[in-house]
Chain A
Amino acid sequence: MARIIVVTSGKGGVGKTTTSAAIAMGLAKKGHKTAVIDFDVGLRNLDLIMGCERRVVYDFVNVINGEATLRQALIKDKRCNQLFILPASQTRDKDALTQEGVGKVLDELSKEFKYIVCDSPAGIERGANLAMYFADDAFVVTNPEIASVRDSDRMLGILSSKSRRAEKGEEAIKEYLLLSRYSPKRVNLGEMLSVEDVQDILSLHLLGVIPESKSVLNASNSGTPIILDEESNAGQAYADVVARYLGEDVPHRFINEEKKSLFGKLFGSR
């Protein structure tokens, strides 16, 4: 049986799709057969981040409606043969998703894949609810600012009450916190919530802190999951997240501001 992971947040623009792409690629690179599904019907973006937008023929809604088979719709990643992408439909809206249809697709994927990553749309409406309904694990992506933290909190409430596991009275969804766009410098200046502040509000297991980084935007623009950029802090942070999720003991990084050397200070180098 596959493990179904939902990447969710409530608020938009916090890095759900970036995270979905990165952890799906990370899991696949570790040798686990992984599928990543875009639930953002109507605002399809995952294919862009994954760099496969020019290979989309059929999509998730086609599969649900029986207009295409899963095999036809799944796009195999060119960089990693363990990774498959199921894109969303751009011409439909979220009402095209049905609980029954989504359940059937996930069941079929479960037979073949080890991990299924569901990239949730923002909001708490149908698309987001269906993305998390069948989940086993939830990655709650949060930015260190109060609006995002509160929306995540709301999402956590929904996760614990409206999921399949909650409705069947099974073991609750495992919830993990992923703090993205974190800038230790701005935390020290008091402009941003610290890891401790967010942990205090959400009381959630911290899976990783992703530092704010220019390389994320560059990676998105070029259709490369950031985890493949091993030079960048953000890429390394996502690699740590995947390792921790798989049970490895990796110390947290990028939480504290890097001390500049005296030399660095004198010359203002970064």
Chain B
Amino acid sequence: MSTDTEAPIYTKSALEFKSSSFSAPVLLLHTTELKHIKHQLKEKITQAPDFFKNSPLLIDLQNCNDDEKSIDLDALIKFLFTEKLFPIGISNGNDEQNIIALKHHIPMHTMRDVRSPASDSILDESLASDAAAIAKPDEETANTVENMLISQPIRSGQRIYAKGDLTILSHVSAGAEVMAEGNIHIYGSLRGRALAGVQGNPESRIFCSVLEAELVSIAGHYKVSEELNIADPLKPKQIFLQNQALIIKTL
């Protein structure tokens, strides 16, 4: 009752769902032998304790499930928690493993290079809804996009990283590197390296007034200056991805 009457007072929207991506380490397992995994993982953690401390982690079982034997996922997850690692999902697990994961409140993720189709349908409904409930807050954790504007020249040796779009009002010198998860706009000359869509967004583009770049890359598809063959180098250009190929076009 009371909640019904209170609801209209708060006029701003209290929440919204957004689609967003963030990066997390993926633990790719090559064996089902838990003792080897434990030993080597501990070694890795001692090498970089700060990096691993309380880190979210995605478990990819693709390589270890190729063998006949399947891994004891229950024991693995418990071990990861004791090592202060937080599995936030498993990938490429079999049905049995998916159920074990969900019991630990860990959802299944399908990654792009997955070979076997996801097997959600087989799972009973209560578990599936559990998974959905957990998966959504995960997506929410990433903030809204942060665009960046820079009016100074980017000097040789400098590196700029923008979580959203990156706009540079001056030039990017040879030996400098500018990266963005979204688009890159450069209103001066681009003489250094520009990498757009570094988290894998193939829709991102690079725009620049003069293209004299050492390297341009969109979502990991790159070209170095030798391969650029730029017609009208002094005219403004845009670079985008089409059928896995980088296209350079005069604006």
Contact = CB atoms under 8 A, between A and B. Distances in A.
Contacts of A202: 153
Interface stretch (B17-25, B56-64, B129-137, B169-177): B169-177
Interface size class, chain B: 10 to 19
A114 interface: no
Contacts of A151: 156
B154 to A, nearest CB: 8
Contact of B156 (A153, A161, A200, A203): A153
A234 to B, nearest CB: 28
B155 A157 contact: yes
Interface in B151-182: 152-158, 170-171, 173-176
Given A150-B175, A153-B175, A154-B175, A203 B155 contact: no
A161 B159 CA distance: 11
Contacts of B188: 203
A104 to B, nearest CB: 30
A157 B170 contact: no
A157 B171 contact: no
At the interface, is chain A mostly helix, strand, loop or mixed? helix
B155 A154 contact: yes
Interface residues of A, number: 13
Interface string A130-152: 00000000000000000000110
A99 B205 CA distance: 44
A228 interface: no
A158 interface: yes
Contact of B157 (A154, A201, A203): A154
B174 A150 contact: yes
A155 to B, nearest CB: 8
A154 B153 contact: no
B52 to A, nearest CB: 29
Nearest to B153: A203
Nearest to B170: A203
A1 to B, nearest CB: 26
18 contacts: A150-B173, A150-B174, A150-B175, A151-B156, A153-B156, A153-B173, A153-B174, A154-B156, A157-B155, A157-B157, A157-B176, A161-B158, A201-B174, A201-B191, A202-B153, A203-B153, A203-B171, A203-B188
